[in-house]
Chain A
Amino acid sequence: MLDTALLIRRQDVPVWLSVATYAGGLIFGLCAAALCLVQLGVPANALWQEFVVQTFLTQQGLGQTLTAAIPLVLVSLGAALSMRVRFWNIGIEGQLWLGAMAATWISLHDFGPGPLRLWLMMAAALVAGALWMALPLALKLLWNVSEVISTLLMGSIAFLWVQHLLFGAWRDAATGFPTSTTLDPVERLPLLGWDQLHAGLWIALAAVVVCALLTGVTRLGFYARAVGANRRAALASGLPVLLTVCVFVLGSGALCGLAGAVIVSGTEFRLTQSIGAGYLFSGIVVAYLARSNPLGVLVVAFVLGGIYTAGNVLKVFYGVSEAVVLLAQGIVLMSVLCAQLFGDYRIVTRRRA
């Protein structure tokens, strides 16, 4: 009489199926979020216009979406790299702060000739992000200290350090407010002539290509897959586990640092107290949804950027509160996550005899 349902993990998920589960989850989530919004008084016919046309199909909306996606792509790639070797980077915001501080430091002291300044800022941010990651990595490798705790706490330290600088040595003396002085024009990423979209787009795309090659083509990428699947087995079969972990984890920190520099030189043009807020959660969500696949990160970050833009529209024109915007975004993300179940598992029902 009783039906039983069994979940059987698929050995191999066909591409069409994972695309279908993503699309299905996204559409279901968007519909559920739309229902919520209509219930709260947003006119139904405006939703299509705002969510789809304004966000992805108009020049203004697309420009905003792409601009929002640039730092998201970088931090999510960072999260994805460390996830590949089973290292939980919860200090994304800390490395982002360090990168932002390093870039600001270069700009405040005018290091290097003008044309090279931006490159120096980016390089310094990469190094600073990687260094901030080096300590938790060393603790993990030497004494097996949980990286969840150490990276998280390093994030708090980074934030306090930024506060210390902004209220002290780096404070803009002209205003007395806790921001650094404005960047010179040569220290800003050039605009691409499309609203606020800036050359950070090319940096983000380059990072995607590099990460895709690293994980998909190189030998290290293959090792990382082995380390991620079973570290001890990888060690036993003589793979260079230490090297692989170091490259991926430090690379993760470096990319998050780069995101900080891109925010400072691309959109804020100064170090402020609020540039890193929220990137930890979005970075991890994007990396998870993309299953640590760099190309997937690009797609998911773009969609999340769109959800942010649409959220902005809702707040601006329909007086929808922040809580509802977060709820709608949460519904969409949850449903995409839940839909993965149907891709990963086969559901077999058996009628009991």
Chain B
Amino acid sequence: MKAPNTILAATSLLALLLPLDAAAFELKSAPKVAFIYASTAQDGGWNEALDAGRAAVESELGLDVAVAENIPEEATRLRAAIDLYVKRGYNIIVGTTYGYSEAMSEAAAAYPDVAFFNASGVHNSENMESFYARTYEAWYLAGIVAADASESGKIGMLAGFPVGVVNWDINGFAQGAKSVTPDIETVAVYTNSWWDPVKEGQVSEAILDQGADVVATDLSAASALNAAEKRGAKSIGYQLDMSAAAPEGIVTSVVFHWDQYLVPRIKAVIDGSWEPEEWGYFEGLSAGVVGLAPYGPSVSDETKAKVETAKAAIIAGELAPFAGPLSSREGDEKVAAGEVLSDEALWGMDFFVTGITGTMPAAQE
């Protein structure tokens, strides 16, 4: 009985120590919130989805939130903006791009009394939390819708850069489509830009020229949907409901609901109960931070039922978009049977699953 006692003593000692060590973050003054955007907040996509979250913070928590737009992803420029805010009493700062990660984590170390949040960032500490959504779960559902909408057996997706958070969208989309039509082909094209509406429209047409009849965009502009609408093709939007760009052809959009994260989180900071996640906030359909926008006119009830079934299974943990056995299209085994792709592997995802055509530029050598 001796050993368990020691363990018990050790754990109670830990329990005594832990509250001190991992104390919830406490604000030292009245809450003042600022959001910092790398481009304009009303960009019709990524930033606008976050800005909707900001608006919810304002209305639901009764706060006046400051906004700075077009702060470039350069350490000096971002740090200057953060310094200005902090010196004037702002103590909750929300960044909106991975390009802010490093400079923000250094600012977080310099200002321990300020709470920092960063969307799609990579750093976390006692007063900083990065957040992102498991977008691949919603893209899996979108893949189901796309496969049902396709008659040609070929669907397409355009995306920004070959980074993990983008690659898992493409792979999730393809996995969802294959779950309905196993031999469906997904054409993936990178635009090598996060914002280039003209090019996105052209790429969308190029995808249609290759015989695809559903185009999904993983970017912020609606021009890809416009181009598809003109050609009478089906389309899928991203970030927020893009149905205005393609009222006929749109089948759905993968959308963020950042209010589901930001409102309770900022409330927790104000209450003094916020403890930043050690590895950052990273939730999906179950937390409601990501989902599908209302369906377009052409989507059948049968498809909607398939999506509901898959959604319920994902939320219940019975279905994982990247469950083993999973191989890259080159045939390398990525996930063994009975296992699920780890979060670490997700962030570093640099392969395409089978069924995807198109090249991944400058892949790791």
Interfacial residues, chain A to chain B (CB-CB below 8 A): 60, 64, 67-68, 163-164, 167-169, 171, 173-179, 182, 195-196, 267-270, 272-275, 277, 309, 312-313, 315-317, 319, 321-322, 325
Contacts and interface: CB of A to CB of B under 8 A. Distances in A.
B122 A322 contact: no
A322 B70 contact: yes
A316 B85 contact: yes
A324 to B, nearest CB: 11
B48 interface: no
A298 B184 CA distance: 62
Contact of A178 (B79, B161, B365): B161
A268 B102 contact: yes
**A contacts with B: majority SS:** loop
Contacts of A322: 40, 69-70
Contact of A315 (B81, B192, B363): B81
B95 interface: no
A47 to B, nearest CB: 16
A312 B122 contact: no
Contacts of A64: 76, 80, 83
A1 B347 CA distance: 79
Contacts of B195: none
Contact of B102 (A68, A178, A179, A316): A179
B361 A267 contact: no
B contact residues, range? 35 or more
Interface in B39-88: 40, 66-77, 79-81, 83-85, 87-88
Interface in B338-354: 347-350
B362 A163 contact: yes
Contacts of A269: 75, 102
Contact of B349 (A176, A178, A179, A309): A176
Given A175-B164, A177-B164, A267-B76, 9 more contacts: A60-B87, A68-B80, A167-B362, A168-B365, A177-B98, A177-B101, A196-B75, A196-B79, A316-B68
Contacts of B103: 268
B76 A167 contact: no
B142 interface: no
Contacts of B34: 316
A274 B73 contact: yes
Interface in B78-112: 79-81, 83-85, 87-88, 98-99, 101-103
A313 B163 contact: no
A109 B161 CA distance: 26
Contacts of A164: 362
Contact of A68 (B40, B76, B361): B76
Nearest to A164: B362
B73 to A, nearest CB: 5
A168 B363 contact: yes
B162 interface: yes
A272 to B, nearest CB: 7
A176 B132 CA distance: 14
Contacts of B69: 315, 319, 321-322
A213 B321 CA distance: 66
Nearest to A67: B76
B53 to A, nearest CB: 18
Interface in B263-293: none
A201 to B, nearest CB: 13
15 contacts: A167-B163, A169-B364, A171-B364, A176-B349, A267-B75, A267-B76, A268-B75, A268-B103, A312-B81, A315-B81, A319-B66, A319-B68, A319-B69, A322-B69, A325-B70
A60 B87 CA distance: 9
Contact of B84 (A176, A178, A316): A316
A195 B103 CA distance: 13
A300 to B, nearest CB: 19
With a 10 A CB-CB cut-off, give which of A168, A176, A317, A321 has the most chain B CB atoms. A176
B102 A182 contact: yes
